[in-house]
Amino acid sequence: MDTRPPSCLTVNQRINRSCYSLSAIENVTEFVALVLAWSAMFDGKTEAGGHAHSFHHFHGPVIGEAQEVSWKDKHGHRDHDYVAHPHYEFSYGVEDHHTGDYHGQKEHRDGKDVVGEYTIKEPGGNIRTVKYRAGKNGFFAHVFNSNGNDHDGGHHH
């Protein structure tokens, strides 16, 4: 059994002057455990007996040979970690007719290339879907709104 730590997932994106951040969760396994625990808590039930639905899926996080990476911290102590080719995909979603909560995300990563999308129903009823990709040429997003106010955007590093 491989006991090396999995690769890290950091999502930090700025779209239409709103920042959607998942950077506080550093580990893919931690993230998936959080999503699974959260969805198990609700298990498609609401207090008022309404109907709700949730789903989740994960496959990953790394494949191939791992390389050891070492460095000195600011106090001169040596530390190390292992880095492998990140390859994962995940998805989750919630649809609760009682509360009106409707959101989900799916993402696929192979090395440095990331493709994904997330959807959220906003308080006014608009459904916003953001399709994004990131790779060696930077981060690009296309925002679709059910009210027809769609936007293209991109950010080069």
Contact 107, 116 (CB under 8 A): yes
Find all residues with CB under 8 Å of 11, minimum gap 6, and list them.
20, 21, 22, 23, 107
- Measured distance CA(94)–CA(77) in Å, rounded: 45
Residue 143 pLDDT exceeds 70: yes
Contact 4, 85 (CB under 8 A): no
Question: What are the beta bridge partners of residue 109?
Answer: 88, 114
> Of 18-22, 58-62, 75-79, which one has max mean pLDDT?
75-79
Question: What are the beta bridge partners of residue 142?
Answer: 131, 152
More confident residue, 4 or 152: 152
- Measured distance CA(51)–CA(54) in Å, rounded: 10
pLDDT of residue 45: 45
For the chain, the structural domain boundaries read: 53-70+78-145
Tokens linked to 16: 């239409």
Tokens linked to 152: 């293209």
pLDDT of residue 43: 46
Contact 5, 27 (CB under 8 A): yes
pTM of the model: 0.52
Percent of residues, the chain, with pLDDT higher than 90: 27
Tokens linked to 131: 């399709």
The residue-averaged pLDDT of 119-146 equals 93
What are 67-106's pLDDT values in tens digits?
777 888 888 888 877 777 888 899 999 988 888 889 999 9
